[in-house]
C-alpha cells in the first residue's frame, strides 16, 4: 500500500493486480511478476506488493515498452477483468437471485498467501480455500477475521533440537491490505465494550478475487496498551485475553460489517471461536423490538456453524466466571438474565462447569456441520447429550467433507499435463468425475518425468532455505544436514508434514528404530522421510515430540535420510505437497476431523499412506493408496501404537517400497504410476473445494437464504 516508483501509464493496472490476491492462483499472473523482475520476485518471497515497492524504476520503464511483457500483461488483465465481472458463473447459472447480499464468513484465521501470515494451520487453509473458490464460483461471500501483525510465529530449532518461537512484526507496507473505510488512513470506526471499558476497532480489506475479507485491528492509540495487543497474535493461550479477542471478532466483526453497509443474508461461523457473532445478532433483533426467543429463532434460521474438533477437550471453553465478567452488561441487552445467558454455553455433560463456544454455536445455529463423514458420526455422538430425546443419528449435525482449492495447490507442471490430456477447460470442470477418467490415458513417462522434476524443485527449495539459515548464522553445520542437505531426489521420499500434535503421532515410525534403519538404509531401495511442522507454543507434550523427532533425524545411524524442514508455512507447503512420493498420515483413530494436506498431495499425484481416519475413511478405495491398520474403533493407545507401527512397517516393506523400485527397462515404475493415476482420478473431483462449496450452497446456504427471505 505504500510505495515506490510510480508505474508507467501503460502498465499502471499492476497496482490493482498486486492488491488482489487473485494473482496467487492464476499461473499466468504469477508469470507476469516473474517476467517483471525475476531476482526480485524470488527475493520478495513471491510477494508482488514487496516486489513493486522495491523495484527499480528503470525495470518498470523497460517492461512498459517490452512487447512480450505487454502481451502477457494485456492477457492477464483481460482474464482478471473477465473473472471479476462475469455473470456467467456457476452460482449465477444455478442459483440466480438466491442471495441479495453476501454470506458473511467468520474465521479466526485465513490462509490466502504467504505474504499475509495470519494463519496457523488447517483451519486457516480451509477458510482461505473457501474464499478463493467462492470467487471462482461467483458465490457472494465476505470474510471477517483479524489482521495480526505478528501472526503465528516463525519456527526455529535450536542445536539441541528444541522449537524456538520468533515473533516478527509484519511490515504492513509489504502486505496486500488496505485500510477501510477509506484508503486515506487507518482509524477505528466501531467500538465494543470489554467489561468496563470501550475498545476501538478498525479494519483492513483484503481482496481475494471477487471476495473481500475484512481483517479487524485494535492497534489504535485510543485503546489501552493491552487492548492494542488484542489483534497482535493468533491463538493467545491466556484465557482472559482469548475471550476478549473472541468478543472483538464476534461482536466487533458484526459491527464492522454494519458500519461498512454490508448486511449478509447468511452468517457462517468457521469453528466455535467466532460464535459471539451470533449473540450480537440476537442483540440487534432485541434492540429492534423482538423478544429473546423471537430473536433467537430468526438468527438460528440464517446461521451456519462448521465444527472441526473431534475431541471434547479440544473445544474452546471459558470459565463461567470469565463469561460472567465479560457479559454481565450484555445479557440485559439480549433480554435475558444471568442464568439464562450462562446456560447458552453450558456443557451438559459431566465435564463440568464451563462456557463452551461449540455449545453456544450449536444453540444459535440451525445449520450445523462436521467436516467429513466419519467426523459427522463422531460429532453426533459427542453432542448427543444436547439432544437427549433424539436418537444419535437424529442429532442435527450433518457433514460436508472438506476439499482443497485446486488452482492454489496444483503444481503448474502437473496442471500442464492435465491441460494437455483432459482439455484446456480442465480447471473449469475439475469437480466432474468423468473428466478424470481420462487420467488413465496419460503416458506414464510424462507423469513420471514431472514427478521427478517436482522432487528436484523441492530439493532446491530445501537447500535454498538451509543455505540461507547457514549464511545468516542461525544454524550449526550439523543442523544444515538435518535440514535436508543430504536428501537425494532419486530416493523414495515420504512426507510427514503437518502441525505437531500428540494425536498425529509424528514419532510412530520411529517405534522400532532397528526396523526403520533397515528400511531407510537399504542399499538398493532406500527410503527417506521429510518432517515439517510447528508445535503450538503452549503445547509442551508436542514440543517434546518434535524434539524427539528432530534428535532422531539428526542421528548419524539414519544416514541423513531423515530431514526436518524448519518453519512449515504455505510457501514450503507448496514445495512439499508437490515434491515427495508418499504422504504419510497416522493420527490416532477418530481424532483427525478431516485433514486436507493429503488432498493437496493427491492432486499432484502423491498417493496417501494413512490410517482410515478423517477424509481418508471415505477417500480410500482399495487401489488409490494404502490404509494403515484397521478401520475406526476404540483402542487402548499403547496397543493402537503397536499395531499401527507394525502395519506401517509391513506396508512399506512388502508393498510400497518394492512397488516404487519395480522399474521396467525404460526406468519407469509403471505399476507405481498406476497407483498415482488412481490417486488423481479418485481424489481430485471428490476432495476439491469446488465440490465442497457447491455442497454448502446446494444443501445449506439455499435453505438459510429461503429462511431469510421468509422472515425478511
Ligand atoms: C494444508 C495445510 C495444513 C493442514 O494440514 P493437515 O495435515 O490437513 O492438518 C496446515 N498447514 C499448512 C501450511 C497447510 O498448507
pLDDT above 60: residue 349: no
Reported as a single tens digit per residue, the pLDDT across 277-334 is: 999 999 999 999 999 999 999 999 999 999 999 988 788 999 999 999 999 999 999 9
Q: How far is CA 521 from CA 57, 513, 561, 649, in A?
A: 53, 12, 8, 14
Give mean pLDDT, residues 680-697.
98
Same domain, yes or no, for 106 and 192? Answer: yes
Q: For ligand 1, is residue 246 a contact (CB within 6 Å)?
A: no
Reported as a single tens digit per residue, the pLDDT across 475-526 is: 999 999 999 999 999 999 999 999 999 999 999 999 999 999 999 999 999 9
Reported as a single tens digit per residue, the pLDDT across 31-81 is: 999 999 999 999 999 999 999 999 999 999 999 999 999 999 999 999 999
Same domain, yes or no, for 419 and 539? Answer: yes
Report the nearest-CA residue for atom 12 of ligand 1.
121
The Å distance, Cα 292 to ligand 1 centre, comes to 40
Note whether residue 4 is domain-resident: no
Q: Quick count: other Cβ atoms within 10 Å of Cβ 7?
A: 19
Instruction: Give 385's DSSP letter.
Output: G
Q: For ligand 1, is residue 123 a contact (CB within 6 Å)?
A: no
Same domain, yes or no, for 416 and 372? Answer: no
Give mean pLDDT, residues 449-457.
98
**pTM for this predicted structure:** 0.97
Q: Quick count: other Cβ atoms within 10 Å of Cβ 410?
A: 25
The Å distance, Cα 12 to ligand 1 centre, comes to 36
CATH code where residue 584 lies = 3.40.50.2000
- Sorting pLDDT into bands at 50, 70 and 90, what band is 377? very high
Note whether residue 73 is domain-resident: yes
- Sorting pLDDT into bands at 50, 70 and 90, what band is 712? low
Same domain, yes or no, for 643 and 698? Answer: no
Note whether residue 464 is domain-resident: yes
Note whether residue 558 is domain-resident: yes
The Å distance, Cα 612 to ligand 1 centre, comes to 18
**Cα 332 to the chain's mean position, in Å?**
38
Report the nearest-CA residue for atom 3 of ligand 1.
122
Note whether residue 94 is domain-resident: no
**Range(s) of the domain holding residue 516:** 407-687
Instruction: For residue 572, give the ligand 1 atom closest to its CA.
Output: 13
pLDDT above 60: residue 351: no
Note whether residue 3 is domain-resident: no
Of 55, 85, 115, the residue that ends a domain is 85
pLDDT above 90: residue 222: yes
Ligand 1: residue of 110, 597, 609 to mutate (most ligand atoms within 8 A of CB) is: 597
Integer Cα distance of 406 and 403 in angstroms: 9
Integer Cα distance of 643 and 636 in angstroms: 11
Instruction: For residue 568, give the ligand 1 atom closest to its CA.
Output: 13
- Sorting pLDDT into bands at 50, 70 and 90, what band is 694? very high
Same domain, yes or no, for 130 and 266? Answer: yes
The Å distance, Cα 133 to ligand 1 centre, comes to 17
The Å distance, Cα 689 to ligand 1 centre, comes to 14
Reported as a single tens digit per residue, the pLDDT across 598-610 is: 999 999 999 999 9
| Amino acid 210: pLDDT | 98
Same domain, yes or no, for 36 and 137? Answer: no
For the chain, what is the mean pLDDT? 96
Q: For ligand 1, is residue 678 a contact (CB within 6 Å)?
A: no
Q: Quote the percentage of the chain above a pLDDT of 70.
A: 98
Same domain, yes or no, for 307 and 429? Answer: no
Reported as a single tens digit per residue, the pLDDT across 159-186 is: 999 999 999 999 999 999 999 997 678 8
| Amino acid 311: pLDDT | 86
Tell me the backbone φ, ψ of residue 198, rounded to 5 degrees: -95, 145
Task: Quickly tell me which residue has 488496505 as its cell.
Answer: 178
Same domain, yes or no, for 419 and 549? Answer: yes
Q: For ligand 1, is residue 573 a contact (CB within 6 Å)?
A: yes
- Sorting pLDDT into bands at 50, 70 and 90, what band is 709? confident
Q: How far is CA 302 from CA 188, 299, 305, 364, in A?
A: 29, 6, 10, 10
Give mean pLDDT, residues 611-639.
97
Give mean pLDDT, residues 6-35.
97
Reported as a single tens digit per residue, the pLDDT across 242-265 is: 999 999 999 999 999 999 999 999
| Count of the separate structural domains present in the chain | 3
Instruction: For residue 569, give the ligand 1 atom closest to its CA.
Output: 13
Note whether residue 439 is domain-resident: yes
Instruction: For residue 599, give the ligand 1 atom closest to its CA.
Output: 8
Same domain, yes or no, for 203 and 332? Answer: yes
In 3D, which of 140, 138, 114, 111 has the Cα closest to residue 126? 111
Q: For ligand 1, is residue 371 a contact (CB within 6 Å)?
A: no
Reported as a single tens digit per residue, the pLDDT across 556-578 is: 999 999 999 999 999 999 999 99
Tell me the backbone φ, ψ of residue 337, rounded to 5 degrees: -100, -175
Q: For ligand 1, is residue 596 a contact (CB within 6 Å)?
A: yes
Report the nearest-CA residue for atom 11 of ligand 1.
121
Q: For ligand 1, is residue 498 a contact (CB within 6 Å)?
A: yes
Integer Cα distance of 330 and 319 in angstroms: 17
| Amino acid 352: pLDDT | 64
Same domain, yes or no, for 30 and 72? Answer: yes
Q: For ligand 1, is residue 109 a contact (CB within 6 Å)?
A: no
Ligand 1: residue of 130, 310, 314, 499 to mutate (most ligand atoms within 8 A of CB) is: 499
Q: For ligand 1, is residue 534 a contact (CB within 6 Å)?
A: no
Of 54, 85, 116, the residue that ends a domain is 85
Task: Quickly tell me which residue has 499412506 as its cell.
Answer: 609
Ligand 1: residue of 122, 128, 576, 692 to mutate (most ligand atoms within 8 A of CB) is: 122
Note whether residue 91 is domain-resident: no
Same domain, yes or no, for 382 and 506? Answer: no
Integer Cα distance of 113 and 108 in angstroms: 16
Same domain, yes or no, for 65 and 113? Answer: no
| Amino acid 350: pLDDT | 52
| Amino acid 1: pLDDT | 45
Of 57, 85, 113, the residue that ends a domain is 85
Integer Cα distance of 660 and 668 in angstroms: 9
pLDDT above 90: residue 4: no
Amino acid at each position: 500500500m505504500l510505495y515506490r516508483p510510480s508505474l508507467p501509464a501503460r502498465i499502471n493496472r499492476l497496482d490493482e493486480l498486486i492488491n488482489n490476491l487473485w494473482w496467487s492462483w492464476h499461473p499466468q499472473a504469477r508469470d507476469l511478476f516473474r517476467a517483471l523482475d525475476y531476482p526480485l520476485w524470488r527475493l520478495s518471497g513471491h510477494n508482488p506488493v514487496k516486489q513493486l515497492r522495491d523495484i527499480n524504476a528503470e525495470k518498470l520503464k523497460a517492461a512498459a515498452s517490452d512487447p512480450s511483457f505487454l502481451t502477457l500483461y494485456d492477457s492477464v488483465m483481460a482474464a482478471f477483468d473477465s473473472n471479476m465481472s462475469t455473470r456467467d458463473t456457476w452460482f449465477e447459472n444455478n442459483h440466480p437471485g438466491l442471495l441479495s447480499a453476501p454470506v458473511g464468513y467468520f474465521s479466526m484465521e485465513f490462509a490466502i498467501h504467504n505474504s499475509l501470515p495470519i494463519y496457523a494451520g488447517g483451519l486457516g487453509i480451509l477458510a482461505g480455500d473457501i474464499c478463493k473458490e467462492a470467487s471462482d464460483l461467483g458465490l457472494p461471500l465476505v470474510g471477517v477475521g483479524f489482521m495480526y501483525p505478528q501472526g503465528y510465529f516463525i519456527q526455529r530449532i535450536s542445536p539441541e533440537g528444541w522449537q524456538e518461537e520468533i515473533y516478527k512484526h509484519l511490515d504492513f507496507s509489504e502486505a496486500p491490505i488496505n485500510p477501510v473505510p477509506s484508503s486515506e488512513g487507518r482509524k477505528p470506526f466501531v467500538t465494543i465494550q470489554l467489561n468496563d471499558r470501550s475498545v476501538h476497532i478498525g479494519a483492513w480489506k483484503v481482496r481475494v478475487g471477487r471476495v473481500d475479507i475484512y481483517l479487524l485491528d485494535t492497534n489504535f492509540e485510543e485503546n489501552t496498551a493491552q487492548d492494542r495487543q488484542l489483534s497482535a497474535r493468533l491463538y493467545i493461550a491466556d484465557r482472559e485475553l482469548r475471550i476478549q479477542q473472541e468478543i472483538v471478532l464476534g461482536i466487533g466483526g458484526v459491527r464492522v460489517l454494519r458500519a461498512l453497509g454490508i448486511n449478509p443474508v447468511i452468517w457462517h461461523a468457521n469453528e466455535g471461536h467466532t460464535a459471539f457473532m451470533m449473540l450480537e445478532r440476537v442483540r440487534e433483533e432485541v434492540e429492534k423490538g423482538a423478544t429473546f426467543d423471537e430473536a433467537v429463532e430468526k438468527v438460528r434460521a440464517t446461521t451456519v456453524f462448521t465444527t472441526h474438533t473431534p475431541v471434547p477437550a479440544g473445544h474452546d471453553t471459558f470459565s463461567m466466571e470469565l463469561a460472567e465478567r465479560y457479559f454481565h452488561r450484555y445479557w440485559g441487552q439480549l433480554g435475558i438474565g444471568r442464568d439464562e445467558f450462562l446456560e447458552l454455553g453450558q456443557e451438559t455433560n459431566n465435564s463440568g462447569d464451563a462456557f463452551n463456544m461449540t455449545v453456544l454455536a450449536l444453540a444459535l445455529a440451525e445449520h450445523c456441520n462436521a467436516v467429513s463423514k466419519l467426523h459427522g458420526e463422531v460429532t453426533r455422538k459427542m453432542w448427543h447429550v444436547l439432544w437427549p430425546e433424539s436418537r444419535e443419528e437424529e442429532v442435527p449435525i450433518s457433514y460436508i467433507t472438506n476439499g482443497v482449492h485446486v488452482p492454489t495447490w496444483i503444481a503448474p507442471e502437473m496442471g500442464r499435463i492435465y491441460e494437455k490430456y483432459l482439455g484446456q477447460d480442465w480447471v473449469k470442470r475439475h469437480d466432474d468425475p468423468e473428466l478424470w477418467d481420462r487420467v488413465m490415458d496419460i503416458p506414464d513417462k510424462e507423469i513420471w518425468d514431472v514427478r521427478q522434476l517436482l522432487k528436484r524443485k523441492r530439493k532446491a527449495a530445501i537447500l535454498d532455505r538451509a543455505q540461507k539459515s547457514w549464511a545468516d548464522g542461525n544454524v550449526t553445520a550439523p543442523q544444515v544436514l538435518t535440514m535436508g542437505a543430504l536428501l537425494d531426489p532419486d530416493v523414495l521420499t515420504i512426507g510427514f508434514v503437518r502441525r505437531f500434535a500428540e494425536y498425529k503421532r509424528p514419532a510412530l515410525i520411529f517405534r522400532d528404530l532397528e526396523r526403520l534403519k533397515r528400511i531407510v538404509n537399504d542399499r538398493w531401495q532406500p527410503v527417506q522421510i521429510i518432517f515439517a511442522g510447528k508445535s503450538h507454543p503452549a503445547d509442551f507434550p508436542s514440543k517434546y515430540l518434535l524434539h524427539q523427532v528432530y534428535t532422531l533425524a539428526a542421528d548419524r545411524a539414519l544416514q541423513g535420510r531423515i530431514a526436518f524442514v524448519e518453519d512449515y508455512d504455505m510457501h514450503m507447503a507448496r514445495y512439499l505437497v508437490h515434491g515427495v512420493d508418499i504422504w504419510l498420515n497416522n493420527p490416532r483413530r477418530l481424532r483427525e476431523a478431516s485433514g486436507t494436506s493429503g488432498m493437496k498431495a493427491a492432486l499432484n499425484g502423491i498417493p496417501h499412506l494413512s490410517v482410515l481416519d478423517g477424509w481418508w475413511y471415505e477417500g480410500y478405495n482399495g487401489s488409490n493408496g494404502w490404509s494403515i491398520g484397521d478401520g475406526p474403533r476404540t483402542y487402548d493407545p499403547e496397543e493402537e501404537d503397536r499395531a499401527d507401527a507394525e502395519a506401517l512397517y509391513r506396508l512399506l516393506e512388502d508393498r510400497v517400497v518394492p512397488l516404487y523400485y519395480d522399474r521396467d527397462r525404460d526406468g519407469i515404475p509403471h505399476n507405481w504410476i498406476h497407483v498415482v493415476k488412481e490417486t488423481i482420478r479418485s481424489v481430485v473431483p471428490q476432495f476439491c473445494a469446488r465440490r465442497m462449496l457447491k455442497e454448502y450452497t446446494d444443501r445449506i446456504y439455499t435453505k438459510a437464504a429461503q429462511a431469510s427471505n421468509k422472515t425478511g
